[in-house]
Amino acid sequence: MSEKRILFTGGGSAGHVIVNLAIIPTFQKEGWEIDYIGSKNGIERELIGRLDGVNYHPISTGKLRRYFSIENFKDPFKVLNGTLQAFRILGKKKPTVIFSKGGFVSVPVLVASRLRKIPAVIHESDYTPGLANKLAMPFAQKILATFPETMQFLPEEKAEWIGAVVRNELFQGSRQKGLQFANLHSDKPVLLIMGGSGGARKINQAVRDQLDRLLNEFQIIHICGKGNVDREVEAEGYAQFEYVNEELSDLFAATDFVLSRAGSNAIYEFLALKKPMLLIPLSRNASRGDQILNANSFVKQGYAKMVEEEDLTEDRLVKELLELKEGKGNFLKNMRHYESFEAKEKVVKIIKDIAKN
């Protein structure tokens, strides 16, 4: 059994955990011992903590801030402490291989993996590599990319394009159960609105301000983010949730159209499920611009429409959603030939090959 032990890492946002959630069950079924290193209070602890048979190990971690903060001066010491903690965990657990999804919690783990001479595989979901993965790349044996365009930003000798890894359970939802869960009916299309794990205040407000107009055309499932449900806004055909876990596949099955941020994991899941999208990526002021690149790639391939957040108005939001609905046939035609299942199998095989060698 000691020869079949894998350690996963990644966190800070749901996007840095989803791929891990997709492939962990495969290793569980094959009898691997599974450990996970994450942060003490990040969303990864909540998501991974639900899984039976996965040993979760919290460590100290830093954070990338695009603004001045006294915490920026403390972060190098947090990373150093996290590296020492990860070094001890790796020494105790002795994994055969490490799989990293990114986020700053992964940097100490990848540094410690080099010190322990344990091979590591990194998965990069976005169009361009994030800072955490850039820092971790020198310590990895293999770097996997979701977008084919990402290969130009990766070291050629380590990189491989594999496509998007999508959770199998998302294909197992029931439309009827999803409609019942959201108290909706089947005679009007359903628009799913997601602003990411933290929500999106501008999107949430624009939707609520134009709710009457939107409900003329759609029923709405609004996943608002933690603390963002507005109990004063109630209407027939409008369902609000902070976050959905077990019933998510059913809500996806009930969905006809999506309004979303442009995190790569989420939009590739919508693509695999054949859901036409209106994407409102995080602005360059709030991010490094990776979601704008993700969204542009999908627009060029005919999978989605896009509005940058700076250009978002209530009238523009309604206009774009009506055009999305009108163009449903073309979007579905473009999506028809995309298949997601091979990517997961490729990732699992690569991890096993790295562990074996």
The Cα–Cα gap between 273 and 335 comes to: 9
pLDDT of 281 higher than 70: yes
The Cα–Cα gap between 300 and 318 comes to: 22
Q: Residue 202's pLDDT band (boundaries 50, 70, 90)? A: confident
Q: Residue 241's pLDDT band (boundaries 50, 70, 90)? A: very high
The pLDDT of 223-248, averaged and rounded, is 90
Share of the chain above pLDDT 90, in %: 70
Please provide the average confidence, as pLDDT, over all residues in the chain. 90
The pLDDT of 244-249, averaged and rounded, is 90
Q: What is the pLDDT of residue 227?
A: 85
The answer to whether 221 and 158 are in contact (CB under 8 A) is no
Note the pLDDT tens digit of each residue in 73-86.
566 777 789 999 99
pLDDT of 64 higher than 80: no
The Cα–Cα gap between 210 and 311 comes to: 16
Q: What is the pLDDT of residue 340?
A: 65
Note the pLDDT tens digit of each residue in 213-224.
999 999 999 998
The pLDDT of 299-325, averaged and rounded, is 95
The Cα–Cα gap between 104 and 117 comes to: 21
Q: What is the pLDDT of residue 100?
A: 97
Ranges 38-42, 57-61, 119-123, 126-130, most confident: 119-123
Looking at per-residue confidence, does 207 or 227 come out higher?
Answer: 207
**Count of residues for the chain?**
357
pLDDT of 198 higher than 60: no
pLDDT of 14 higher than 60: yes
Q: Residue 208's pLDDT band (boundaries 50, 70, 90)? A: very high
Hey, which residues does 61 pair with through a beta bridge? none
- Comparing 127-136, 151-160, 228-237, 335-344, the range with the smallest average pLDDT is 335-344
Share of the chain above pLDDT 70, in %: 94
The Cα–Cα gap between 245 and 227 comes to: 16
Element (H, E) at 342: helix 341-356
The Cα–Cα gap between 32 and 203 comes to: 42
The Cα–Cα gap between 25 and 50 comes to: 13
Note the pLDDT tens digit of each residue in 15-62.
789 899 999 999 999 999 999 999 998 889 989 988 999 999 999 886
Q: What is the pLDDT of residue 16?
A: 86
Q: What is the pLDDT of residue 1?
A: 40
Q: Residue 286's pLDDT band (boundaries 50, 70, 90)? A: low
Domains belonging to the chain, first-starting first, are 5-165+340-356 (3.40.50.2000), 171-335 (3.40.50.2000)
What order do you get walking across the sheet with 277-279 strand by strand?
238-241, 219-223, 190-194, 257-260, 277-279, 304-306
Looking at per-residue confidence, does 113 or 68 come out higher?
Answer: 113
* Radius of gyration (C-alpha) of the chain in whole angstroms: 21
